[in-house]
Chains A and B, each alone.
Chain A
Amino acid sequence: AQTVTQSQPEMSVQEAETVTLSCTYDTSESNYYLFWYKQPPSRQMILVIRQEAYKQQNATENRFSVNFQKAAKSFSLKISDSQLGDTAMYFCAFMNGGSQGNLIFGKGTKLSVKP
């Protein structure tokens, strides 16, 4: 069974600085997708970024980028120029390419951006 591990329960960063959130996963599949979701205090789950396992190029969305290391089964999220609105829980998630589409989530990392 696939598992997703986020080893940092909590992190903090100063506004305008850069922070990296870690995620590792375990799978024997070759076709899969990885996601980072953000859950602010409003509870809404918001998709931040998505990576296809067969693509070597790391995904980027504005200030958010990933470092995808397929051999190491690592999928970290880098947030540049951190903003107060980035304060949230961040969840790493895995989706098997051959599955019906259900996501397997890590336990999350609580990120606090300090002014």
Chain B
Amino acid sequence: DSGVTQTPKHLITATGQRVTLRCSPRSGDLSVYWYQQSLDQGLQFLIQYYNGEERAKGNILERFSAQQFPDLHSELNLSSLELGDSALYFCASSVGKDFNYGYTFGSGTRLTVV
């Protein structure tokens, strides 16, 4: 157990729907990162939050949004889902804003859009 908790582990939904993925960071970690892993695009950085504020944005679609709550857990919201959004979504956490020791990943949420 890495200490980063992601729920649910698996999610199957239909095109056009909206889902919410949840991440609880490791105790004491202030930064949360979201990554998408798909067969064609590989692992891509989506967004980072630090202590409740958005700190960096990567290749995140406008249909996707995220937030980090006062208790530091984070949610990634995916709306108007398309077949191409099927992927493994990882959350990771680190202590600082730009922790270069490499951060800790959760076990991911497997999203399947049908």
Q: 1/0 per position for A78-101, CB-CB distance to B under 8 A?
A: 000000000000010101010111
Interface footprint category on B:
20 to 34
* A3 shortest CB reach to chain B, Å: 12
Tell me if B107 and A42 are in contact (CB < 8 A). yes
A-B contact count (CB 8 A): 65
Whole-angstrom CA separation of A101 from B100 in the bound complex: 7
The verdict on A99 contacting B98 (CB below 8 Å), with A43-B88, A45-B90, A105-B43 known, is yes
A19 at the binding interface (Cβ < 8 Å): no
Tell me if A102 and B108 are in contact (CB < 8 A). no
Chain A residues within 8 Å of B, Cβ to Cβ: 33, 35, 37, 42-47, 50, 52, 91, 93, 95, 97, 99-108
25 inter-chain pairs at a CB distance below 8 angstroms, sorted by A residue, are A37-B102, A37-B105, A42-B107, A43-B108, A44-B105, A45-B90, A45-B105, A50-B102, A52-B100, A91-B43, A97-B100, A100-B97, A101-B55, A101-B103, A102-B33, A102-B45, A102-B48, A102-B58, A103-B102, A105-B42, A105-B43, A105-B44, A107-B42, A108-B42, A108-B43
